[in-house]
Chain A
Amino acid sequence: MTLLQRLSRPWIWAWLAAALAFAATLGLTSGRGAGELAYAALSFGAFAAIVGMGQMLVITLGPGNVDLSIPATMTLAATLALKVMSTDPGTALLGLGVALAVGLGTGLANFALIFLLRLPPIIATLAASLIYQSLAIWSNRGLRIKPPPGLADFATGRFLGLPNVAWVGLALALIVWVVLERSVWGRWLLAAGQNLRAARLAGMPVEAVRAAAYVTVAVFAALAGYLLASFSGGAALNMGQEYLLMSIAVVVIGGTSIAGGNSNVPGVWGAALFMFLVVSMLNSYGAGAGVRNVLTGTIIIAIVIAASTRRPGA
């Protein structure tokens, strides 16, 4: 494969950008702290990657498809899971089950609004997220419940030098990649995103595909919420906030086509690392919050342009 062909792969840009941000940060410290920085990027990037992969599946369905209820689903799943576990040892799997059930429920509810009431997904998921957030507030009542110690150790621990949450994110990435590239369902999703009517007329069960995508994004968000709450010592009502924009940004920076029909799993991970590294780079250069936001936005735009203009035929 030539260099040009490599550059024409849209996900390479996210990884290049992540590597540059990494190098720029280390340039300031003359290489010290490289391991720590990589470890932190993998830890925090894992949460963005998990929600990003869910969002990617929905965005692949084509224009107008997006899940804006990710933050609320994360918060609700984490809140209910921690409440059920109530810091008791040995309840980690019970909590996981509750979190995943919450994700299943919100995913089905989102799709029901979209399918039965024919609401645009943006409206449906945004409106539903208000309900999920309210449920979280109502059930939480200001309490901050700590995760069970074993679970907290797992979420902050490491295996073979990599954070456990990163292993979870990598395993999910592998599964999503296999499903998209090799499975019948993945083909259906990609076809539906290119031309819904043509996919339907080719005999594909497009509504089932859409339903599965919306349920998957919610389950991924619930899992991310569960892990994030365990990682950070408890659920907070604003814990999902930054993942609304983050989930969409990592999909777009990662080279997935917003027009639908084209997914990019490696790009999501590269973009998730980049999103963490660019903030830590600007922090270490002493940029203030305002400057940081402006630069982050500018860099995102630059990468999206670079990735999309290099795509052949796009």
Chain B
Amino acid sequence: MMMRRQFMYPALVVLMAMGLATGGCKSPANSGSSQSSGNDIIVGEYGSLTGPQATFGKSTDNAIQLATDELNANGGIDGRKVKVVTQDDMSQASNAALAVQNLIDQQHAIAILGEVASSCSQAGGRVCQSKGIPMISPSSTNPAVTAIGDDIFRVCFIDPFQAAVVARFAHDSLGATRVAVFTNTDQDYSTGFSKNFIEAFTKMGGTIVIQKSYGGQDTDFRGSLTAIAQSKPQAILIPGYYQDVASIAKQARALGITCPLLGGDGWDSPDLVKIGGTALNGCYFSDHLAIDDPSPAVAKFVASYKAKYGQTPDSLAALGYDSANLLFAAMKSAKSLSSSDIRDAVAATKNFPGITGNITINAQRNADKPAVIIKIVNGQFTKYMAISNPDVPLQQKGS
């Protein structure tokens, strides 16, 4: 009897702990459109709804749902509603592959949308390619993503193009001939961007005065920045993500570096200015879209996104919106709703009027379209110019 009592307490504790573990979990909910019936067309979406890239994944997901709701309100595709089934990959490439597998095998999706991060898109893309399901990535800019095979597309430009655009802008518009490069060596995005920028910029006759690098976990950049300041550049290229860029900018300004800083679409986050403050005024970066673009298509998208979600969309949302609409347009024009016919229709897309520009899918299944240079003025992202072909010198624009 004594023995049994002694065992009771540990057993009770274990039971309570188990109750805690299971009681705390919520059953996962799919954020697809509300009413579903057997007749719906199922499109799969995978994205980083949680994890480090969650802000990117959420805006993309919001915009895809917005596009789907608008399509269904206007009668869907041939009278059938489209249902987007969303799977979270927790910002991990290994989960992305599982998510796509589940979307295709369990949910019977006929086409896939996703991801933002190139590493996740590559993992998911390989699954799509092996199963012959077309996939459109809204915003993965690494060239390797669409190189997987003929089922993988994207609606954004690729990194070499973006880097060449920034080089053309720095050389022609800023009139810079001496540029410093500060790379995050832990990110393929950053090292690839720097490499392509240096190639393009030196070809135009510019000089890279100094190259420095940092690691993903660094928080103090003053050592490298002091050396950069010594080399007296006219501009500094920092192709990192916004949180690094914001603290680099602050520390650079505190060290007395006043020249403009340049970057790519990794800068695009409201947090950039929230963290960096005034240090980023007068800096430039290349992006997919300027939210302040006065064109009616952009204004309409911004207004309906704000009405639905109560916040201003970023360029990732715009690309998510374009990826969904381009897919829906292709489904409408496809001979049938079989995956191979949808793929052929996506591949044949010419001059699709997206809100991030007119999109033509080229032979490498990438989108041909212009990039926008954004200038940060008083903490606001403002459109400075659009560049569609970085190989052609720009008309000099005084700044």
Verify that A and B bind, or say they do not: no
**Which residues of B approach A to under 8 Å, CB–CB?**
none
**Which residues of A approach B to under 8 Å, CB–CB?**
none
